[in-house]
Amino acid sequence: MVQEEATQHWHALKPDIFGSYLNGTWQSLADMSAWRRYYASGVLKDGRVIICGGEQSGAGEDTNRCEIYDPVADSWTIIPSPPGWDIVGDAACCVLPDGRFMIGALTTTQCAIYDPASNSWSAAASKAIRSNEESWVLLADGTIVTVQCFPPFHAEKYIISSNIWKTEGTPPVTLVNPNMSEIGPAVLLYNGKVIYFGAENSGGHGKTAIYTPPSTPGGTGTWAAGPDIPQIGAQAMVCNDCPCTLMPNGKVLVTTAKYISNSWGSPVNFFEYDPVTNTMHAASNPSNNNTFPYPASPGLYWSRLMLLPTGEVMFSASSNNVQVYVPDGAPQENWRPHIVSATPHNSLFFTQYFSVTGTQVNGLSQANMYGDDCTPSTNYPIARLTNLTTGRVYYQRTYDISSMAVATGTAVQSFRVSAIGLPQGNYHLRIVANGISSNVVTVNVYHINLKPILDVRYKREFELIDPKELVEGDPWDRLQWISDPEVGELKSQIKYLENSVNRLTSMIKAAELPKVGQDLQAKEVKGNGKHEENGKHAKSNGKHAKSDSKHEA
């Protein structure tokens, strides 16, 4: 699921019949209410996607507008904004293990939690300082660790069960660019430690720091210096405002660029961090590492990574040129999710879904990380089914996930896998978490072909009876009798066509399009939106923005 730059348009990359995303096709999804850039987001327990805020948007600068995408209905619904919050912008965020969604305020120390079950917000404990520009990392012990991007640049930890923030020591190296208040990404590793990548040139190098969690959630972890980010051509390389991905081989693929004082460098250069040797080395760069949506405004901050279910990593610097990185090696066996059971739930005439239980079904990390501008974490189960007769691969929707926690060990989790759209037959079911596949379980999907009977006997009945009445009050689920995979696929294609038509209609109305790519040199930059403290002047650092109006604190 990918947003089109500077528009409200969304697209889905559908793999081919063999499960390949490299050979996949793009399809249009429903438009959200307004275009936006740099916002909080996450995948919820029921499989929906929440988006909140937007540093730049058609709803205003640092908007507080929030909405949820429903993949079943292919529709967006605006939800309440946090009470009393006039702005949300590019808030730091995290989906909590219990499925609630937490964000931090830009200009105050406040935090708020959204509960999807009640569609309401509540206040959470406040931090020591505001969370603007921070990278929040969910840990296995039910805590969130972060590094402050404003003085005194300490670490903090949120203990979810106690609803408190506590001081968590100080990194031993400079991670934050103090002029820009930017930091790099951070990610929980398969060894249980966290690596933070730095945004500042310190002694000719960008720095990294390694955090080791304590033995108990209330304890205080320890910090150690990690390896320096290697130079390229005698230039310091830094990670200011950019993504990283924990790959299935245990290494971290991270984006960097040359250090430029008070700005963002380009082109994008890739490195791999190896936690076994605690070293960093250059990775190959894709052909699109210097392709940006606006050539006059290049910058590392445009970079986006997505960890695919195949274990490959998709990259684009926010342009329509998308490349895929194929890592080497393989995961360790103890990193894999494990299916304990897969129980079919059938209506009278076909399989509706499978109730699946298993361990480590969310993976051992959020894996796909950025920070405040983008939160594409992948700590949720993905179902891959292979038809044993045709060899065709299907990725099916997962929902009703019991927990969004990471590294849950031997604790058994549960969720549902939709069987809607699957042809009748036997399948190999695998659960994928962070690009790592589980063991194989054989399942059966069945249908009873009632089409001839329905065509001559029941179709008129369905035309005369309210479908809602059938869904809510009919124990025989008669409405489902005329639902078969081919009809479902046809309806899906029609929906995609409708989205495309609606999109073309809106494009005809020029007033509805954001003015992008025009007079870029005259525009203010994202640096102006950093909400500087103590009367600091807003900066013009070349980061793309929509207007000259920015908040300061």
Residue 45: how many CB atoms within 10 A of its CB?
21
Classify domain 133-330 at the CATH topology level: Neuraminidase (2.120.10)
Q: What is the residue type of 507?
A: M
Helix (H, G, I), strand (E, B) or coil at 491: helix
Residue 294 and residue 516: Cα distance in Å, rounded? 9
Q: How far is CA 426 from the centre of its chain?
A: 32
Residues of the chain scoring pLDDT < 70: 449-492, 506-553
Q: Are 43 and 380 in contact (CB under 8 A)?
A: yes
Q: Are 245 and 195 in contact (CB under 8 A)?
A: no
In three state form, how does the secondary structure of 394-434 look? EEECEECCCCCCCCCCCCEEEEEEECCCCCCEEEEEEEEEC
Tell me whether domains 133-330 and 333-447 share a fold.
Answer: no
DSSP summary character for residue 506: H
- Quick one: pLDDT at residue 12? 98
- Quick one: pLDDT at residue 383? 98
How many CA atoms are closer than 13 Å to the CA of 300, on its beta-carbon side?
30
Q: Are 175 and 136 in contact (CB under 8 A)?
A: no
Distance spanning both ends of the chain, measured CA to CA: 35
Structural domain spans, the chain: 1-31+490-517, 133-330, 333-447
Pairing of β 120-124 and β 137-138: unpaired
- Assessment of whether the complete model's pTM goes beyond 0.85: yes
- Quick one: pLDDT at residue 451? 52
Nearest residue to 146 (alpha-carbon basis) of 107, 92, 108: 92
Residues in the chain: 553
Q: How many helices (H) and strands (E) does the chain have?
A: 4, 39
Nearest residue to 35 (alpha-carbon basis) of 2, 64, 3: 3
DSSP H stretches of helix in 285-420:
none
Structure tokens, 45: 């327990």
**CATH class of the domain whose range is 333-447:** mainly beta
Structure tokens, 337: 């999710």
Q: What distance separates the 2 farthest-apart alpha carbons in the chain?
A: 81
Q: In sequence order, what are the residues at sequence separation of 6 or more whose Cβ sits closer than 8 angstroms to the Cβ of residue 349?
A: 447, 448, 450, 480, 481
Q: How far is CA 392 from the centre of its chain?
A: 27
Q: What is the residue type of 297?
A: S
DSSP H stretches of helix in 58-203:
none
